[in-house]
Chain A
Amino acid sequence: MGRYIVKRLISAIPVLFGITLIVFLIMAMIPGDPATAILGSYATPENVAKLNRDLGLDAPLWQRYFIWLGNMLTGDFGQSFALNRPVLDEVLERFQATLILAGTAFVLCSVFGIIAGVISAANQYGFADKAITFVVLLGISIPSFFLGMMMILWFSVNLRWFPVSGMWPIYGDRDLGALLSHLTLPAIALAVVATGVVARLSRSAMLEVLRQDYIRTARAKGVHERGVIWRHALRAAMVSIIPVLGIQAGFVLSGAVYIEIVFQWPGVGRMLVDAILTRDILLVQGGVVFVAACYVLFNIAVDVAQSLLDPRIKT
């Protein structure tokens, strides 16, 4: 197992390089003089020249890439202009908030998605199946940012069950209870679409598995139906559900951008949008590379989980 993990990590290295290259090339598309773009059109020529030197922008493209890459490998993601602090510090701090939000949403969508899918498949064409299918359809059709706004309107403003926005109370303790009450709405709003997708996929994976011969064997042994569904069928269906969970993690991470805006959550997504609007290019670059790298590593974890679950995968 250890060797398998190392192997997967090594295979991720070219992907990580590819990510930096793609981000770098996209950023190289910035029309005109990047320094002017960053500083705005009122910048003095001296400042533009200085910034160009500071950024190494007077060097040729490929050299700039390797300078940037080398700096990142030593932990230097550059300096954010708008915030006037190291990019990495800002990204790490913001990513923590995103991780809490997206992580909770990911757990919610995995657990409820799978449960809904299994119940739906086990009662195929029954009332529960139809009800779940309808709710799932609604869930995957509603834009998460709209859902978030409606949840604020209903649960925070009308019912006053939860705070309207933010991660922590402005006054008061930063304890777990405060965090949970702030986290509930955004985590649910973020999880809804992914839950729908996971539920759909779990349902069809279960239907596929329930037709297999070994399910009939389990029934022929006299295993009760609960055991057949949850122990035999779900275990086998997980093999095709887990890769989808990996993909959903990407969707949850993406959706977090909207939810962070709607709920004023101090995460990396809101940071990116602000950075784009203030043209804080290094912060965008650093943030995107960092989050994408985390996502790649997460998907390795998914692969490892998959190999633990399925003894047929050679590790």
Chain B
Amino acid sequence: MTAFLTLLARNRLALAGLVVMTVVVVLALITPLLPLADPDVTDTGNRFVPPLSPGAWLGTDHLGRDLLSRLLWGTRLSLAVGFAAAVAAATIGAAIGMIAGFYGGRVDNIIMRAVDMLMAFPYILLALAIVAALGPGLINALIAVAAVNVPFFARNIRGITVGIANKEFVDAARLSGLSNARIILTEVLPNVVPVIVIAMSTTIGWMILETAGLSFLGLGSQPPQADLGSMLGEARSALITNPHTSVVPGLMILVIVMAINLLGDGVRDALDPRLKSGALSRPMAATRVDRRSPVPPAQDAAAVLDIAGLQTQFHIKDRVYRAVGGVSLSVKPGECLGIIGESGSGKSVTALSIMGLVASPPGVITGGAARLHGDDLIGMPYRQLRDLRGRAVSYIFQDPQATLHPLYTVGDQLIEAIRAHRPISVKAGRARAVELLKAVRIPNAASRIGNYPHEMSGGMRQRVGIAMALANEPQIIIADEPTTALDVTVQAQILALLDDLRRSRGLAIVFITHDFGVVGQLCDRVAVMYAGKIVEAGPTRAVLDAPMHPYTARLIDCVPELGGGKRRLEAIPGLPPVVDKLPHGCAFADRCDRVQGLCRAGTVALEHTGNRAVRCHFPVNERQAAE
């Protein structure tokens, strides 16, 4: 509760709403005690006195009644009626909802059908019909507004109750022989009360507005008694000659409703956990770049892609997650580089950082360079970067179910990929799209082109993903776990396809995976990542045969071998460290069985020996590797 209040207090607008609302409510409460003129005493000699006149701060209305007094009394009445309507609607609606949700079955069915019927009306028609039946009057308007809002509460509370009715504590109460009525009152009600209160706080503004509206139409409060709505209604005939009589009550309604809306928004934000984590932020067109250190030089001039000292962080509230902590890699033309690691090791973030595709906020590239033929992609103007995306460097993503747009046909998506970089007609684009689908061996390509992603199998969808990546004959493809979501046979087909394409087109591939088996099939070289850093790198065969880093060794042990007989699958105990609290020394120290004091003493450097590199003071297989 205190946490909730501090959150609310942090939201300045909500706080303003709360303050205004408090002032209005207090004024309404103490109105009878204030030295005001009688709101209903007419004085036709003093009609339409303008505001700021002595004795009548806000002037007088068409019958010479003091507007300030009428405003405060009217506010009091409007608030009371709105509040009463909200309480009535909430009570009746909640009762209906709880009964429907608790009993379920036919009771639920009948009640909810009736609720649906009521919700099929534009709300005011129902209110008007009720007022028509009962006759104009404030109480009748209140009944109408409350009745119109009952279905809303009934439906909300029913939903919550259904969830509660199946909980263990309710079963326990049933078994102990309590009556249903008793269970509803003692077990269900306490659990739905918070929901009722929240729903009420969000609708009370509406209720005030609706009752004011009915009064405005002359169907609510009857003269001489006036709420804000009927004050406005009565003032309407003098709108042109004496606008102040309309402006005064109108502004009051605006102020009240706005304050309630601000407060309601604040409450909603404070209660919605997604807003706290910043998860509802929209990712920008390119990842934010904020390099605080000098840009490191390129390492390999022959490489297509050369990454040097790349650092990417996630800034969430006041915490900093170092997802990529200085990664250097390079890929030559026609080469396939594997990046391997567990979830959260930073491999995907590394891959996405290259073309600025890390969601930002919260992602920020804080250092390093990624050079494509010598041009640094990090910090490149967006226009240039966009031109390279999909043309020079393209991506294949993990789950084609989520990464293809669900509402466009695969053909349209392919054509768009082509036309993003080439000024060709849609017709030519279509022909090219069919060609691409054939190239990734999709049967009946010409007819498949009109399919939506949900009409295809997972393997077919991933072929579309690959076709899209090939659309503009890129120099390098970054494949971010392209086979993880697929079953094993399909996975093998996709890998074979990628390998073929690489050989026939001289593509460079960066292949991200958590599976050493896949690396062994496809990659020339491999880099192993752990907690945002490369811990080992080298030619695939050499690393597989004689891993040097203890972590690599354990990862390789995780791969089951076909026909390899009985072998214990060694799961690695423990979890990778959370990247906002990285340990001082080696990040793997806590899970390593070779750990010594030195490992925790300070940063461990990546030591290069020949074509291999390892970040470990006490590597395994050292002798073998040196041979």
Contact = CB atoms under 8 A, between A and B. Distances in A.
B399 A213 contact: yes
Interface string B392-416: 0011010100111111100000001
Contacts of A281: 132
A28 B113 CA distance: 21
Contact of B122 (A15, A221, A239, A291): A291
B234 to A, nearest CB: 12
A254 B125 contact: yes
Nearest to A28: B133
A152 B239 CA distance: 9
A131 interface: no
Given A284-B132, A311-B407, A312-B454, A122 B397 contact: no
B357 interface: yes
Interface stretch (A18-26, A52-60, A168-176): A18-26
Contact of A207 (B132, B253, B280): B280
B389 A146 contact: no
A232 B405 contact: yes
Interface size class of chain A, counting residues whose CB lies under 8 Å from the partner chain: 35 or more
Given A30-B133, A146-B253, A284-B129, A213 B117 contact: no
A162 to B, nearest CB: 14
B128 A284 contact: yes
Interface string B176-198: 00000000000000000000000
A137 B258 contact: yes
Interface string A262-296: 10000001001101110101001100100110011
A292 B397 contact: no
A288 B128 contact: yes
Contacts of B205: 141
Contacts of B386: 222, 224-225
A15 B397 contact: no
A221 B419 CA distance: 10
A214 B403 contact: yes
Contact of B258 (A138, A206, A227, A250): A138
A275 B240 CA distance: 27
* Of A30, A214, A273, most B-chain CB atoms within 10 Å: A214
A190 interface: no
Nearest to A102: B122
A181 B387 CA distance: 48
Given A214-B404, A284-B128, A145 B399 contact: no
Contact of A257 (B124, B209, B399): B124
Nearest to A299: B120
Contacts of B416: 218, 221, 223, 227
Nearest to B240: A157
B389 A219 contact: yes
Contact of A219 (B125, B254, B285): B285
Interface in B232-277: 232, 236, 239-240, 243, 246-247, 250, 253-254, 257-258, 261-262, 265
Contacts of B346: none
B512 interface: no
A217 B359 contact: no
Interface in A131-156: 137-138, 140-143, 145-146, 149-150, 152-153
A276 B131 contact: yes
A221 B390 contact: yes
A88 interface: no
A254 B232 contact: no
* Of B121, B219, B397, B421, most A-chain CB atoms within 10 Å: B121
A254 B122 CA distance: 6
Nearest to A153: B243
* Of A22, A219, A235, A275, most B-chain CB atoms within 10 Å: A219
Contacts of B357: 216, 219-220
Contacts of B117: 15, 18-19, 21-22
Interface in B256-307: 257-258, 261-262, 265, 279-283, 285
B124 A210 contact: no
B420 A150 contact: no
* Of A214, A220, A228, A239, most B-chain CB atoms within 10 Å: A220
B556 interface: no
Given A211-B283, A284-B132, A236 B399 contact: no
Contact of A272 (B128, B212, B389): B128
Interface string A225-251: 101100010011001000000000011
B407 A121 contact: no
Nearest to A125: B281
Contacts of B133: 26-30
A296 B120 contact: yes
Nearest to A141: B258
Interface residues of B, number: 82
A213 B403 contact: yes
Given A146-B253, A149-B239, A216 B397 contact: yes
Contact of A251 (B122, B243, B282): B122
Interface in B166-223: 205, 209, 212-213, 216-219
Contacts of B258: 137-138, 141
Nearest to B383: A224
A253 interface: yes
B126 to A, nearest CB: 8
Contacts of B280: 204, 207-208, 211
A273 B233 CA distance: 13
A149 B250 contact: yes
A309 interface: yes
A282 B50 CA distance: 44
Contacts of A140: 261
A292 B125 contact: yes
B522 interface: no
A106 interface: no
Nearest to B246: A149
A143 B253 contact: yes
B283 A236 contact: no
Contact of A15 (B120, B134, B355, B404): B120
A141 B258 CA distance: 5
A142 B114 CA distance: 32
A143 B408 contact: no
Nearest to A276: B132
Contacts of B404: 214, 217
B618 interface: no
B391 interface: yes
Given A143-B209, A143-B254, A277-B218, A153 B239 contact: yes
Contacts of A299: 120
B125 A124 contact: no
A27 B129 contact: yes
A154 B56 CA distance: 25
A112 B218 CA distance: 32
* Of A217, A221, A224, A284, most B-chain CB atoms within 10 Å: A221
A273 B125 CA distance: 10
A97 interface: no
A217 to B, nearest CB: 5
19 contacts: A15-B120, A23-B129, A27-B133, A146-B246, A146-B253, A164-B240, A211-B282, A217-B405, A218-B405, A236-B407, A254-B124, A254-B125, A276-B132, A281-B132, A288-B129, A292-B121, A295-B120, A295-B122, A311-B454
Interface of B: 113-114, 116-118, 120-126, 128-136, 205, 209, 212-213, 216-219, 232, 236, 239-240, 243, 246-247, 250, 253-254, 257-258, 261-262, 265, 279-283, 285, 352, 355, 357, 359, 382, 386-391, 394-395, 397, 399, 402-408, 416-417, 420-421, 452, 454, 465, 468, 471-472
Given A164-B240, A218-B416, A222-B417, 9 more contacts: A26-B129, A137-B262, A146-B250, A204-B280, A222-B389, A236-B406, A251-B122, A277-B218, A296-B120
